Amino acid sequence: MKVHGLPVKRQKWSSDFGEWFRDILINAEIMDYRYPIKGSGVWMPYGFKIRKNVLQIIRDLLDNSGHSETLFPLLIPETSLAQESAHVKSFEGECFWVTHGGYDPLKVRYALRPTSETVIAPMLKLWIRSHADLPKKLYQVVNVFRYETKATRPIIRMREVEPFKEAHTCHTSAEEAEQQVNEAIKLYKQFFDDIGIPYVVSRRPDWDKFAGALYTIAFDLLCPDGRALQIGTVHNLGQNFAKAFGITYETMDGSQEYIWTTSYGISGRGIAAVLIAHGDDNGIVLPPKIAPTQVAIVPVPYKGKEEEVNQACADVATKLKEANYRVELDMRGDLTPGNKFYYWELRGVPIRIEIGPRDLANGVVTIVRRDSLKKQTWKMDDVVCAVKRFAEEITRDLRTNAAAWMKERVYRVNSLGEAKTLLKRRAGIVEVAWCGKEDCGHSLEEAVEARLLGFPEDTTEKVDGKCLVCGESANNIVRLAQAY
Ligand code: P5A
Ligand code: ZN
């Protein structure tokens, strides 16, 4: 079978994850990465539907927690980008620059936004007058552009990053900004929990924080190849951008103060994470909430019984649609039932219903769960109840299994040798004691040839250990991993 001119390969999720991911995007018709610009891809119709459902979850979460959706321009004058010194230093080498309008060189060149702090700041300066204007919580869903020099990968490391969901908030005090950071962490936890994605939350070391931030909290997912993927970040920006752009507000007692800001973002990696965390050797597996098709109905006809079987399938489809499920009745005449099973499995449709003459005679349907591939028969009259129940079970089991898989791959060790061995064979995430000194952190990264993800932000556990580098007492655990 060929899809879109590419041979269908069956790389294994379990043994050849990188290839699996690349192939599955094309084979399941999610993203075509053959566009003639490196780092740009095309969301295909099926992928676009998944993208739309995932976006809806984020929009709902943000809309229901006091954020307002907006849309800011794509172009940033270099003069704006340059206003916050740490920010410009980190991002100017990553920008795509617009230098001409037609034949005319521009006096001030424009950057395609690599992120929007410096797009939003000049407008906040105009909008924020007094404490009554605060807090302010905005977000937008856009594409951002980063001239990534590391190997690009579809969805995971794009140069045109899309959909980029970025929130920007403004506050009257440091405490309120910190509270917002915690609120954002909670929102992102809810988002990932909703689609069953496991994560660890870590405070990035100072040298790896977002440029212009006081500190950065990051969500990381462990991929089947043992590498960590950063799937979302929350930044406390303190007053850095407020000071750089002169954004002040009038306090209750009439004085002028700089505002405090935060920003947080999730990219298409939020979608990639679903494919990565739940996929298997047969394809992708989608949680019902975001599956474009939740139930695929496949008739298994037998000579002479075609009409009855097809009619029963149509009746079941109608019932399920009336109960608001997204249903596909697969009546394609040119495919065998086997081909159809393969087709829907590859695309991760959570529930498949098969009806054959024997089912019909017994007044039942055969229901197959995509996650476990287990088959069960169910009374045809109760099909709506069955689908409801299976959808709930699949949602729960996907989350539980993915979380268990990741948890098994978090190791706590107390020697550099052990850490190095585990990380070398990409066993997962390794936790060690660290004194917190930057020098020791760098030495640690060098010694084990991996990245420091940071301090756990999802536990308050203290340890009674010794820094593996300098031997001084260390109460903090730090996470290390090979990272994307
Ligand atoms: C927060 C939103 C920011 O840009 N400004 C607005 C802040 N943070 S970030 O960490 O730089 O990016 C947010 C998340 O985007 C993902 N990401 C990418 N995804 C795909 N391709 C890329 N090239 C890429 N770069 C960053 C990461 O998940 C990151 O956490
Ligand atoms: Zn140390």
Q: Are 266 and 191 in contact (CB under 8 A)?
A: yes
Who's near 74: CB < 8 A, 6+ residues apart? 112, 113, 142, 143
* Cα 465 to averaged position of ligand 1 atoms, centre (Å): 34
* pLDDT tens readout for residues 346-367: 999 999 999 999 999 999 999 9
Give one DSSP letter per residue of 409-473, joined into a string.
TEEE-S-HHHHHHHHHTT-SEEEEEE---HHHHHHHHHHHTSEEEEEESS------EE-TTT--E
Confidence of residue 368 (pLDDT cuts 50, 70, 90): very high
* Cα 267 to averaged position of ligand 1 atoms, centre (Å): 6
Q: For residue 218, give the ligand nearest its CA.
A: 1
* Cα 244 to averaged position of ligand 2 atoms, centre (Å): 34
CA-CA distance, 285 to 280, in Å (whole number)?
7
Amino acid at 171: H
From atom 26 of ligand 1, which residue's Cα is the shortest distance away? 267
* pLDDT tens readout for residues 169-224: 999 999 999 999 999 999 999 999 999 999 999 999 999 999 999 999 999 999 99
* Cα 411 to averaged position of ligand 2 atoms, centre (Å): 20
Mean pLDDT throughout 422-441?
Answer: 95
CA-CA distance, 123 to 168, in Å (whole number)?
12
Confidence of residue 13 (pLDDT cuts 50, 70, 90): confident
pLDDT at 153 over 90: yes
* Cα 471 to averaged position of ligand 2 atoms, centre (Å): 6
Which of helix, strand or coil describes residue 139? strand
* Cα 430 to averaged position of ligand 2 atoms, centre (Å): 17
Confidence of residue 10 (pLDDT cuts 50, 70, 90): low
pLDDT at 4 over 70: no
Amino acid at 117: E
The pLDDT > 70 percentage for the chain reads 98
Confidence of residue 3 (pLDDT cuts 50, 70, 90): very low
Q: For residue 432, give the ligand nearest its CA.
A: 2
pLDDT at 1 over 80: no
Mean pLDDT throughout 246-266?
Answer: 98
Ligand 1: residues with CB < 6 A are 115, 117, 146, 148, 157-158, 161, 166, 210, 230-233, 235, 263-265, 267-269
Q: Which atom of ligand 1 is nearest to the CA of 157?
A: 21
Q: Which atom of ligand 1 is nearest to the CA of 269?
A: 19
**CB-based burial of residue 330 (10 Å sphere; 0-12 exposed, 13-18 middle, 19+ buried)?**
buried
Q: Which atom of ligand 1 is nearest to the CA of 230?
A: 28
Sketch out the chain's domains with CATH numbers: 9-74+125-140+153-278 (3.30.930.10), 295-390 (3.40.50.800), 411-483 (3.30.110.30)
* Cα 295 to averaged position of ligand 2 atoms, centre (Å): 55
Q: What interhelical angle do 17-27 and 269-278 show, nearest 10?
A: 110
CA-CA distance, 279 to 24, in Å (whole number)?
9
What is residue 475's predicted lDDT score, i.e. its pLDDT? 85
* pLDDT tens readout for residues 70-89: 999 999 999 999 999 999 99
* Cα 469 to averaged position of ligand 2 atoms, centre (Å): 5
Task: Quote the mean pLDDT of the chain.
Answer: 95
Q: Which residues surround ligand 2, an ion (CB under 5 A)?
A: 435, 437, 440, 467, 469-470
Query: In testing the pocket of ligand 1, which one of 208, 210, 220, 266 has its CB within 8 Å of the most ligand atoms?
Result: 210
The residues pairing with 101 across neighbouring beta strands, listed in sequence order, are 104
What is residue 11's predicted lDDT score, i.e. its pLDDT? 62
Q: Which atom of ligand 1 is nearest to the CA of 155?
A: 20
Query: In testing the pocket of ligand 1, which one of 33, 147, 161 has its CB within 8 Å of the most ligand atoms?
Result: 161
Q: Which atom of ligand 1 is nearest to the CA of 232?
A: 30
Q: Which residue has the higher pLDDT, 68 or 5?
A: 68
* Cα 435 to averaged position of ligand 2 atoms, centre (Å): 4
* pLDDT tens readout for residues 104-141: 999 999 999 999 999 999 999 999 999 999 999 999 99
From atom 10 of ligand 1, which residue's Cα is the shortest distance away? 233
Q: Which atom of ligand 1 is nearest to the CA of 264?
A: 1
